[in-house]
């Protein structure tokens, strides 16, 4: 009987990752994609099927940051040993959506990796917050991934057209759509972006309808959704873990838990603020901070209404956070490098 093999191409295994995997295949390892993660195991798919895998001792020992560990969407090399599987290495990521860990910890949390498109989801009810939306836009932009903004629950909003124009004005270079899960055209819209072989991720706050959109895209209820609360008119958060889902249409989606806060891990201060970057070229001073400097084209745009004041305020806030994060990361990096050096030294001594 011929051995069953899973077609990894439909899971996004293109020529780029195939070439990377070939460099490690001599060691007897085979490529696999991480499609889920719970507390103790990673769910992976390889040519021989689906497995629950643990990280190897080497990965656990050498991981200093959270980003050193596998994330949903990663391509990894695994070892199959009878009924057990182990993740032995992580292939270099094409990109990733990540954020700074909450609290005072200077660490990177990878939300998902090797993504082709990011759907930024915000509902047009009490959840609507332009500053929070700009934060998501900046995170996606700093990851160099195409993003599409979906404004959900338009059927519950009396001023959906007004809010749509407000977002388009704040993000003129992005595709922005006001949608409803009850509108049949929503499925067609989503499928126009999520084509076979494409990996997409939905990010946004709790209760904005991410899981509902995934169900719409798949044509079936593959994600459990929370009922709408009559008190606050928003869905209860139901997704508790990240999972990569293969759709019948051939694309892939990752649903992420809602995030109460999201801080950019990258330091690119203009990411997601392309309109400010363009206006800055017209400022009198090249290093203009758009505060009290004379001849500031950005402040002039705010005054004449072509640039929302909230956008400039958000840019200035993220610039301050970025500079603070850069200083903290530099200090943290010294500690991490010392820790890595000690581990390498101990490892070399054990080998000797």
Residue 85 structure tokens: 């599987």
Render 58-122 in DSSP notation, one character per residue. HHHHH--SGGGS--TT-EEEEEEETTEEEEEEEPPPS-EEEEEPSTT---EEEEEES-SEEEEEE
Task: Report the 10 Å Cβ neighbour count for 303.
Answer: 11
pLDDT for the residue numbered 246: 92
**Residues with Cβ within 8 Å of residue 345, at least 6 apart in sequence:** none
Strand partners of residue 273: none
H runs (alpha helix) in the chain: 15-22, 57-62, 130-142, 160-170, 185-193, 210-218, 274-280, 297-303, 309-351
In CATH terms, are 8-90 and 274-351 the same topology?
no
CB 120 within 8 A of CB 145: no
Rounded CA-CA distance 74/59 in Å is 14
- pLDDT (tens digit, 0 to 9) for every residue of the chain, 352 residues total? 344 478 899 999 999 999 999 988 777 899 999 999 887 899 999 999 999 999 998 888 888 778 889 999 999 999 998 778 999 999 999 999 887 766 555 677 888 999 999 999 999 988 888 888 888 888 888 888 999 999 999 988 888 899 999 898 888 889 999 999 888 899 999 999 999 999 999 988 888 888 889 888 876 655 444 433 333 334 333 444 678 999 988 899 987 776 655 666 565 545 557 778 888 889 999 888 898 889 999 999 999 988 888 888 878 877 777 676 666 666 666 666 676 677 666 656 665 5
Looking at the domain covering 274-351, what would its CATH class be? Answer: mainly alpha
Listed residue (76, 3, 5) closest to 44, CA to CA? 76
Question: To 5 degrees, how large is the angle CA 233–CA 166–CA 307?
Answer: 145
* Run of H or E residues at 35: strand 30-37
Rounded CA-CA distance 22/26 in Å is 8
- All structural domains of the chain with their residue ranges: 8-90, 108-264, 274-351
Residue whose tokens read 């072509």: 306
pTM of the model: 0.76
Rounded CA-CA distance 291/271 in Å is 19
As a CATH number, domain 108-264 is: 3.40.50.300
Rounded CA-CA distance 46/214 in Å is 24
Question: What is the fold, at CATH topology level, of the domain defined by 8-90?
Answer: OB fold (Dihydrolipoamide Acetyltransferase, E2P) (2.40.50)
């Amino acid at each position: 009987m011929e051995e069953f093999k899973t077609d990894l191409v439909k899971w996004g295994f293109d020529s780029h990752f195939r070439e990377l995997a070939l460099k490690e295949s001599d060691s007897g390892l085979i490529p696999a994609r991480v499609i889920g993660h719970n507390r103790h195991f990673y769910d992976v798919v390889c040519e021989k099927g689906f497995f629950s895998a643990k990280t190897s001792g080497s990965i656990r020992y050498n991981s200093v940051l959270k980003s050193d560990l596998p994330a949903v969407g990663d391509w990894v090399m695994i070892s199959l040993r009878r009924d057990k599987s182990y993740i032995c290495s992580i292939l270099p990521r094409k990109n990733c959506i990540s954020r700074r860990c909450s609290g005072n910890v200077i660490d990177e949390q990878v939300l998902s990796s090797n993504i082709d498109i990011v759907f930024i989801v915000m509902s047009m009810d009490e959840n609507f917050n332009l500053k929070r939306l700009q934060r998501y836009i900046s995170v996606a932009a700093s990851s160099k991934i195409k993003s599409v903004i979906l404004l959900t629950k338009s059927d519950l909003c009396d001023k959906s057209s007004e809010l749509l124009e407000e977002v388009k004005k704040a993000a003129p270079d992005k595709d922005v759509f006001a949608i409803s899960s009850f509108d049949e055209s929503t499925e067609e819209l989503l499928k126009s972006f999520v084509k076979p072989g494409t990996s997409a991720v939905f990010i946004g706050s709790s209760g904005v309808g991410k899981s509902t959109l995934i169900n719409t895209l798949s044509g079936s209820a593959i994600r459990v959704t929370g009922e709408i609360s009559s008190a606050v008119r928003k869905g209860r958060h139901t997704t508790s873990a990240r999972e990569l889902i293969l759709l019948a249409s051939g694309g892939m989606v990752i649903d992420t838990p809602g995030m109460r806060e999201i801080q950019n891990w990258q330091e690119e201060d203009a990411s997601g603020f392309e309109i400010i970057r363009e206006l800055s070229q017209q400022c009198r001073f090249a290093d203009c901070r758009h505060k009290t400097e004379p001849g500031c084209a950005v402040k002039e745009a705010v005054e004449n209404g072509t640039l929302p004041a909230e956008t400039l305020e958000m840019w200035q806030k993220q610039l301050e956070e970025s500079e603070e994060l850069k200083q903290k990361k530099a200090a943290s990096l010294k500690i991490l490098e010392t820790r890595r050096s000690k581990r390498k030294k101990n490892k070399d001594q054990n080998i000797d």
